[in-house]
Amino acid sequence: MTQIIQRNIYPSLKEHLKEKEITVLIGPRQAGKTTLILELYKKVKAKNSDKAFYFNLDRLRDLSFFSSQEDVIQFIKARAQKFQEKMYFFVDEAQRIKNAGIFFKGIYDMHLPVKLILTGSSSLGIKDELQESLAGRKRLFYLFSLSFDEFLEYKNKTLFKLRNHKNISDFDTNAILDLVKEFLIYGGYPRVVLQNDPDKKQDILEEIYNSYVEKDAISFLKIKKPLVFRKLLQLLAFQVAQIANTNELSSSLNVERRTVEYYLDILQETFIIKSVPPFFSNKRKELVKACKFYLFDNGLLNFAKNSFEPFDMRVDIGPLLENFVAGELARNRRIAAKLRYWRTLHGAEVDFIIEDPLHPLPIEVKTRIKKITIGKGFSNFLSAYKAREGIFVNLSKTDTIQHNNTVVYFIYPFQLHKLV
């Protein structure tokens, strides 16, 4: 029996089946989109087998069904006339249809008795087109690889329930932190999480990586320099948590800067990386242009680096933990749009800022701390921007302190869900 990992987005998707507007689920390959919509499809089909239809457009037979918009419309009309009930079309990998947005807009605008549920792996392939063609006709849902909260619930439901308890024991805290360290190495792709053998986890990550490059980047998005594309992703993996200079990247890759910028856009729009721009208010004193880049999934990060040593043996534990925090924050679309970092021209910095016109929230990431104290850079930001709250994510301690007019929370990585 196939194991199912509960996804936090599932209740919202299920509830949206009641709405007329088109449900659109997008995210990276193998993040679990097919599993989710199949689960929804089976629930609908169980109530009435004549109402639900599932199409996987990676299969040529299913894709051919959508070769003619008129044929699809006539099929829906014929079924509606016969059964006189609303149908549900679950269409997996909808970006395979040429002009998908216009195709489904035409069906939707005829007010046929059909609910459309679409998925797509590539933001470039489906989101942008649907944004224009289906304005006011759809709702976008995003599915990434597992968040740590989803991972923890699957791994140990008891620890999942205890994670917020005020009196959680040191034993249970350390048990959760051990799972954090596993997640920092292998990430949250569902197939990887379901596999217990470390070697097989790595094999699956290699398959996911190659599938992404070959199917999305090369085949669908027509990347002309796949070796450069792979090398760029590898360079970004080794520079995680550092400020990236596109001129240096183009020089290292021996390609034009605009090629690097185009490939960076593709990596971001296909949910492989997340760019974090600087937070600033004073152009003369603070960085205003260069971004930092993170990978959404730590497993893919470590595959790109070809490094799967246990966390406690790593020399890059700082970047690994910071990448984890970036991924957790970026999975929340509300926070992702406001995620920044801060650095002055003199080198004072804060890892992340959640931008807010009145009360920006600074977040610092430290692997281990011996003493509850904040650094000079963090203190400078609090003074400059009058932040009401600040957060230190670390692997050592939890506490709450008052720094002038700011409340600073020291939290474990598994407590980030309270924020996101």
**pLDDT at position 50:** 85
Rounded to whole angstroms, the Cα distance separating 118 from 90 reads: 6
365 and 402 assigned to the same domain: yes
Pairing of strands 349-354, 361-365: antiparallel
Q: Measured between alpha carbons, how far is 199 from 30 in angstroms, rounded to an integer? A: 19
**For the chain, percent of residues with pLDDT exceeding 70:** 95
Q: What's residue 234's pLDDT?
A: 94
Per-residue pLDDT at 363: 96
**Does residue 84 have a pLDDT over 70?**
yes
What are the φ and ψ backbone dihedral angles of 89, each rounded to 5 degrees? -105, 110
Residues 133 and 158 in one domain: no
Residue 246, domain member (yes or no): yes
Instruction: Kindly report the CATH number assigned to the domain that includes residue 135.
Output: 3.40.50.300
Q: What is the average pLDDT score of the chain?
A: 90
- Tokens 């040593």 identify what position? 309
One domain, residues 130 and 277 = no
For residues 113 and 190, state if they share a domain. no
| Together in a domain, 407 and 270 | yes
Residue with tokens 């909260």: 149
| Between residues 350 and 347, the one the model is more confident about | 350
Residue 219 is assigned to a structural domain of this protein: yes
Per residue in 18-76, pLDDT tens? 999 999 998 888 999 999 999 999 999 998 888 999 999 989 999 999 999 999 999 99
Residues 324 and 398 in one domain: yes
In this prediction, residue 29 carries a pLDDT of 85
Question: In this predicted structure, what is the pLDDT of residue 222?
Answer: 76
304 lies in the same domain as 215: yes
CB 280 within 8 A of CB 272: no
Farthest CA pair distance, the chain: 73
Q: How far is CA 96 from CA 43, 121, 215, 219, 263, in A?
A: 25, 10, 11, 11, 21
The pLDDT assigned to 289 comes to: 76
* Percent of the chain with pLDDT strictly greater than 90: 67
Please check whether residue 4 lies inside any domain of the structure: no
Confidence category of residue 283, pLDDT binned at 50, 70, 90: low
Co-location of 107 and 205 in the same domain: no
Burial of 260 (0-12, 13-18, 19+ CB in 10 A): buried
Among candidate residues 122, 142, 162, the one where a domain is terminated: 142
Q: Domain check: are 359 and 244 in the same one?
A: yes
Reported as a pLDDT band with limits 50, 70 and 90, residue 2 is low
Is residue 2 in some structural domain?
A: no
Task: Note the pLDDT tens digit of each residue in 202-253.
Answer: 999 999 998 888 777 777 677 888 889 999 999 999 999 998 888 899 999 9
Q: Which domain holds residue 46?
A: 10-142
- DSSP of 39-58: HHHHHHHHH-TTTEEEEETT
State the pLDDT at residue 123: 53
Among residues 120, 142, 164, the one where a domain terminates is: 142
What are the tens digits of pLDDT across the range 147-199?
999 999 999 999 999 998 888 899 999 999 999 999 999 999 999 999 999 99
In this prediction, residue 364 carries a pLDDT of 96
- pLDDT for position 286: 57
Q: Please name which of 28, 33, 29 lies closest in space to residue 10, comparing C-alpha atoms.
A: 33
Q: For residues 138 and 152, state if they share a domain.
A: no
CB 88 within 8 A of CB 52: yes
Of 142, 171, 202, the domain-final residue: 142
User: Does any domain span residue 5?
Assistant: no
Q: Which residue, chain included where needed, has tokens 């080794």?
A: 238
For residues 118 and 202, state if they share a domain. no
In a domain, 61, yes or no: yes
Contacts of residue 284, Cβ cutoff 8 Å, sequence gap at least 6 = 345
In a domain, 153, yes or no: yes
pLDDT-based confidence at residue 287 (cuts at 50, 70, 90): low
**1 lies in a domain?**
no
pTM of the prediction? 0.92
Count: domains in the chain: 2
- Angle ∠(270,274,275) on CA atoms, nearest 5: 120
Beta pairing class for 399-403 and 114-120:
unpaired
Q: 58 and 171, same structural domain?
A: no
Q: Lowest mean pLDDT: which of 80-89, 177-186, 383-392? A: 80-89
d(CA 349, CA 63): 50
The predicted model gives 338-347 an average pLDDT of 89
